Amino acid sequence: MFVALKKIFISFLILFLGLTSFVSAKEFHPYHVGSVEINYNSKSKTFEITGRFFLDDLENGLAKKYGKPFHFNDAKYKAQINEALKKYSAEYFKLKTDNQFLKINYVGYEEDSESVNIYLESEKVENPKKVEAAVSFLYNLFDDQINLVHIIVNGNRKSEKLTYPNRYLFQQF
């Protein structure tokens, strides 16, 4: 299954790279894909979460959700974007280990001309064996959104493709 997901991810990446050589990030792109990596850090005993999304999709998703424009490449919007991403992430991302919901803290974001990374971190948890996640980033905007989710615990990586409206995944470690 991992090999198939890896091939799908590589295919999307090649397609994305090919399209970006012809189309700017502000123009239409035919796929609505994001990725979320949920990595357990055994030293800090927390999950470090990174979500990566197309910049224009995230701007539009936030605008639709909160009824006002957001512009990532404009410094005057930074505080507004941080507050919106904190609320947005809390609504569209949940994490549970061993049947207990974890508190997730918004850490911040980074942007480039085409994408945005959102950084989150969980509260401390000891040796997770069962990981459940609800991931629905940009489901409020697109009914064809795909989120590739990678969960890594103690070097063991498990990946799954979530396609709207499916938002739940479960992995045993």
pLDDT tens-digit series, residues 50-72: 999 999 999 999 999 999 999 99
Strands 146-153 and 130-135: unpaired
pLDDT (average), residues 17-32: 54
Task: Please state the pTM of the whole predicted model.
Answer: 0.83
**Residue 82 in contact with residue 109, Cβ under 8 Å?**
yes
Residue 38 confidence class, pLDDT cut points 50, 70, 90: very high
Look at residue 112 in the predicted model and tell me its pLDDT: 87
Strands 146-153 and 33-41: parallel
Residue 5 has pLDDT above 80, yes or no: no
Domain spans of the chain? 35-128+137-172
* Phi, psi angle pair for 61, to nearest 5°: -65, -45
